[in-house]
Amino acid sequence: MAEGSEGKLQLVHRHIRAFPDFPKKGILFRDICPILKSPAALTAVIDLFEERVRSHHLQVDLIVGLDARGFLFGPLLAQRLGVGFVLVRKKGKLPGPTTCVKYDLEYGTAEAETQEDAVAPGQKVLIIDDLLATGGTLYAACELMKKQQAQIQGCMVIIELKDLNGADRLKPHSVFSLLQY
């Protein structure tokens, strides 16, 4: 990374808080809320994502953001790139005809959906969220995009929890993370 990029990455890192034993004992929760409170840190996140897209993905038609924190960063990146933004939501939250996939959670299953007309076949999409842990939600988003015959250019997150091996679940799709723990 260029010197400016390294400084931005350090700024982002300083704006992530760790909360031990949340939401339950034994979990170290990485909180991105301080990033949202800091215009400089938020700008740094979007700058770093934009730099990555422009240097590695020559053409992206849509940014796909996951419910709910992908909604915070995805539209800002989409606006910078001059492309559209698409929502992936929990089942029952979108109007009109939708496409849905079920996926596994730690304690059961869930469903994610997007509107049927959100992505046209062949469109190049980049999927964004705040965090990659086990990869379940990002995997569901990839499956939704496959159902809509999109070309998945990769996934982007602010934080990747490497010990949980979520990136392995997403193969063959690439994962770019700003910070790894």
Residue 17: count of CB within 10 angstroms of its CB:
12
Cβ(130)–Cβ(123) under 8 Å? no
Do the beta carbons of residue 30 and residue 181 sit within 8 Å?
yes
Bridge partner list, 176: 156
Cβ burial, residue 95 (10 Å; 0-12/13-18/19+): exposed
Q: 87: helix, coil or strand?
A: strand
Of the CA atoms within 13 Å of residue 40, those in its CB half-sphere come to 9
Beta bridge partners of 29: 19
- State the catalytic residues: 69, 106
**What are the strands, taking DSSP E only, across the chain?**
17-20, 28-31, 62-66, 84-90, 98-105, 108-115, 124-132, 151-160, 175-180
